[in-house]
């Protein structure tokens, strides 16, 4: 399989077929927590793309050069990755504050909030140490750094796409004539379920 088509499959596999929110059900707290309005969900999506890309790079490097060679990765990867991601986000926050106050303000509260987000941890882990999501892509047991980054980009964009879609739906629901018994969270859960059903429809594309 050519490199380009492998990259394309990794991207689509991460973004749509294995959508982290709607078919893997990881990171559901922001999915319901910040999807109340469009603006916050966009800020969150931007921050997630940003943090996931960096986190995957860092965990991939640590896995490849520290954890795997020492043979301690299998049981140490979760604490190690949490440590790395948390300090990385702190570092980036400091850097952004100095270098780009505009970007710092745009991401605002979301940067520190997603330090310990499970979606970020899951994606960074999957990029460094594939296996959990059982991606049916013939790329071997581990991803190269380029593949890991493309995969992470796919996942984070899939996250943003699902979150923004859901926020748009919920903004519409605010105005819809919902029966009283379903008002509020119940109709949001039902909507999320239907949206998830729609995403299941992607499975099987390109043999993924």
Partner 1 sequence: MDLVLIAKAVGALSLIGLITSAVLSTAAKKFHVEVDPRVGAVVGALPGSNCGACGRPSCFAVAEGIVAGDVPPNACVAGGQSVADAVAAIMGAAACEMASVICARGCGGGDKAVRVYDYAGVPSCAAANRLAGGPLACAWGCIGFADCERACPFDAISMDARGLPVIDPVKCTGCGICVRECPRGHLTLLELVPEAAPIVMRCNARDKVKARRANCTACCIACKKCERECPHDAIHVIDMLAVVDYEKCTGCGACVEVCPQKCIDFYGHRPGVDAVAADGVGPDVETPANVAQEA
Name the token pair of 166.
Answer: 């859901």
* Nearest distance from C-beta of residue 122 to partner 1, angstroms: 19
* Nearest distance from C-beta of residue 11 to partner 1, angstroms: 30
CA dihedral (134, 49, 32, 116) positive or negative: positive
68 or 168, CB closer to partner 1? 68
Give CA–CA dist 93/84, Å, rounded: 14
Binding stretches for partner 1 (CB under 8 A): 62, 66-67, 70-72, 75-76, 79-80, 83-84, 87-88, 90-91, 94-95, 97-99, 109, 180-186
Give CA–CA dist 16/167, Å, rounded: 18
Q: How many CB atoms lie within 10 A of CB 3?
A: 10
72 or 200, CB closer to partner 1? 72
106 or 208, CB closer to partner 1? 106
* Nearest distance from C-beta of residue 25 to partner 1, angstroms: 20
| C-alpha distance from residue 97 to each of 46, 52, 92, 198 (Å) | 17, 19, 8, 40
Name the token pair of 204.
Answer: 């099987």
* Nearest distance from C-beta of residue 91 to partner 1, angstroms: 5
24 or 129, CB closer to partner 1? 129
């Amino acid at each position: 399989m050519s490199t380009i088509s492998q990259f394309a499959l990794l991207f689509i596999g991460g973004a749509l077929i294995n959508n982290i929110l709607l078919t893997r059900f990881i990171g559901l707290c922001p999915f319901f927590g910040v999807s109340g309005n469009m603006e916050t969900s966009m800020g969150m999506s931007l921050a997630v793309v940003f943090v996931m890309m960096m986190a995957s790079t860092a965990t991939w490097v640590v896995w490849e050069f520290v954890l795997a060679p020492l043979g301690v990765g299998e049981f140490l990867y979760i604490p190690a990755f949490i440590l790395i991601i948390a300090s990385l986000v702190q570092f980036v926050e400091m850097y952004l504050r100095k270098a780009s106050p505009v970007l710092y303000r745009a991401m605002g509260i979301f940067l520190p909030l997603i330090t310990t987000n499970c979606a970020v941890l899951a994606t960074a882990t999957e990029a460094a140490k594939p296996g959990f999501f059982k991606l049916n892509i013939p790329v071997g047991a581990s991803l190269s750094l380029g593949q890991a980054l493309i995969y992470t980009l796919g996942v984070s964009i899939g996250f943003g796409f699902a979150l923004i879609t859901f926020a748009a739906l919920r903004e519409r629901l605010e105005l819809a004539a919902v029966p009283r018994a379903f008002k509020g969270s119940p109709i949001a859960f039902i909507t999320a379920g239907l949206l998830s059903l729609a995403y299941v429809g992607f499975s099987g594309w390109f043999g993924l």
